Amino acid sequence: MVLHTDNVGRAWDAGESSWTSTDAILYALGVGAGTAELAFTTESPTQLTLPTFPLVLNGHRNGSLADLIGDFDHARLLHGEQSISLHSAIPPAGTARATAELEGVNDKGRDAVVWLKSALRDGSTDALLAELRTGLFLRGAGGFGGPRGESVPWQPPDRAPDHIVSYHTSPDQALLYRLSGDRNPLHSDPGHAARAGFDRPILHGLCTYGFTGRALLHTLCGSDPDEFGSMSARFAAPVLPGQTLNVLIWVTGDDDAVFQTRVGATAVLDHGTFSRRAR
C-alpha cells in the first residue's frame, strides 16, 4: 500500500447538505433522545437541534479517500478519533456548504492515521456553523517513513467523577441510527458482522458519540445548545446495541471537562475533552 502523502494540505469543496426538521428529530431519536427531551424530538413549541447533528452531514463525502490517500483495504479502516467545534446552535432545518482538507498522514509504525478536517457554513448567511476533525486509522498502512505526529497526554483527575450519566441503548438502536445516513452493513447485517469478527452487528461509533454528546449537553450546558462548544474523543472499543453506556465526567474548570464513556469496565470512548462555547 502506497499512501499519497503529497496530498497533505489539499482542500476541496465538499458540497452542500440540506436537512429538514424531520432529519434533526430522526437523528435525536437515533442517539437515544425521547419523551424526556421533547425540545429535540418534536417540532413544538420551539424545536432545538442536538449539537452533534453536523456529524451526519458528512463534510468529507465528495472527496474519494482512495484518490486522496491511495488504495487501501476498506475492511482495515477504523474511525479512530472525532472532534466537533460549534460556532452557533444548529437550526432545525437549513442548508450548509462544506469545505474539507487532508490535514495530515501520520506513520505509527505498523499502522497509519489520516486526519481530515472540514468546515460547515450556513448556505444563506455564510456564517460558520461547525468545524469537524476526523482521525481515520488504517491498519497495516504504516512504515512509509512519515511523521509520527504528536501524542497529546490525557488523564482524568485522580478522584471520582463529578457526574455519571447512564443511558440504555435499544437492541434496535443501530437500525434507527442508520436512517441518518450511515448504511454500513456492519451495523445491520449479521452475516457481514460475522465476517468482520463480531457475534452480531455493532453500534455505530458516532451513535455512541451522539449519546455522549447528549450527556454533556444536559449535564454541563443546562440542555442549551448555545452553550455547547466542543467535544473530542477516541473510539476505543465497539458497543453492541442493547448495552448500557455510562458517561463519566470530571469537571476541570469553569467551562472545561474531561470524560470517558464505558460499557461496564471497558472504555468505549476515551481521551474525551469538552469545552463550553465562549459567549
CATH no. for residue 212? 3.10.129.10
Active site residue 182: yes
132 in Cβ contact with 83 (< 8 Å): yes
DSSP label at 145?
Answer: -
Whether residue 134 is found in the same domain as residue 65: yes
Structural domain includes residue 148? no
Average pLDDT, the chain: 92
Active site residue 187: yes
- The pLDDT of residue 18 is above 90: yes
Q: Is 86 helix (H, G, I), strand (E, B) or coil?
A: strand
Query: 113-128: per-residue pLDDT in tens?
Result: 999 999 999 999 999 9
Structural domain includes residue 67? yes
Structural domain includes residue 89? yes
Banded pLDDT at 75 (limits 50, 70, 90): low
In percent, the amount of the chain with pLDDT more than 70 equals 94
Whether residue 92 is found in the same domain as residue 217: no
Whether residue 126 is found in the same domain as residue 231: no
Query: 248-263: per-residue pLDDT in tens?
Result: 999 999 999 999 999 9
Query: 88-99: per-residue pLDDT in tens?
Result: 999 999 999 999
Q: Which of 187, 189, 270, 271 is catalytic?
A: 187
Whether residue 251 is found in the same domain as residue 126: no
Decide which of 279 and 221 is more confident. Answer: 221
Choose the final residue of a domain: 83, 103, 138. Answer: 138
Choose the final residue of a domain: 102, 122, 138. Answer: 138
138 in Cβ contact with 91 (< 8 Å): no
What confidence score (pLDDT) does residue 84 get? 98
What confidence score (pLDDT) does residue 107 get? 85
247 in Cβ contact with 261 (< 8 Å): yes
Whether residue 100 is found in the same domain as residue 172: no
What confidence score (pLDDT) does residue 166 get? 98
Whether residue 125 is found in the same domain as residue 172: no
Whether residue 132 is found in the same domain as residue 170: no
Query: 203-216: per-residue pLDDT in tens?
Result: 999 999 999 999 99
Helices 205-220 & 21-30, crossing angle to 10 degrees? Answer: 100
Find the domain containing 130 and state its range: 5-138
Banded pLDDT at 22 (limits 50, 70, 90): very high
Count, in order, helices (H) and strands (E) of the chain.
Answer: 6, 10
187: left (phi over 0), alpha (psi -120 to 50) or beta: alpha
Of the listed ranges 2-6, 13-17, 20-24, 26-30, the least confidently predicted one is: 2-6
Structural domain includes residue 156? no
Structural domain includes residue 144? no
What confidence score (pLDDT) does residue 109 get? 87
Query: 172-231: per-residue pLDDT in tens?
Result: 999 999 999 999 898 999 998 898 889 999 999 999 999 999 999 999 999 999 999 999
Amino acid at 208: T
Whether residue 100 is found in the same domain as residue 176: no
Can you say how many angstroms the Cα of residue 95 is from the centroid of all Cα atoms in its chain?
20
Structural domain includes residue 149? no
Choose the final residue of a domain: 100, 121, 138. Answer: 138
Which pTM does this prediction carry?
0.94
Whether residue 210 is found in the same domain as residue 244: yes
Banded pLDDT at 62 (limits 50, 70, 90): very low
Q: Which of 23, 182, 204, 271 is catalytic?
A: 182
Name which of 245, 83, 63 is nearest 169 in CA terms: 245
- The pLDDT of residue 45 is above 90: no
Structural domain includes residue 143? no
What confidence score (pLDDT) does residue 64 get? 63
What is the full DSSP assignment across 187-201? GT-HHHHHHTT-SSP
Whether residue 253 is found in the same domain as residue 207: yes
Q: Which residue has the cell 487501501?
A: 72
Structural domain includes residue 155? no
In percent, the amount of the chain with pLDDT more than 90 equals 73
Whether residue 114 is found in the same domain as residue 54: yes
Whether residue 105 is found in the same domain as residue 29: yes
Decide which of 1 and 206 is more confident. Answer: 206
Banded pLDDT at 150 (limits 50, 70, 90): confident
Give the total number of structural domains in the chain: 2
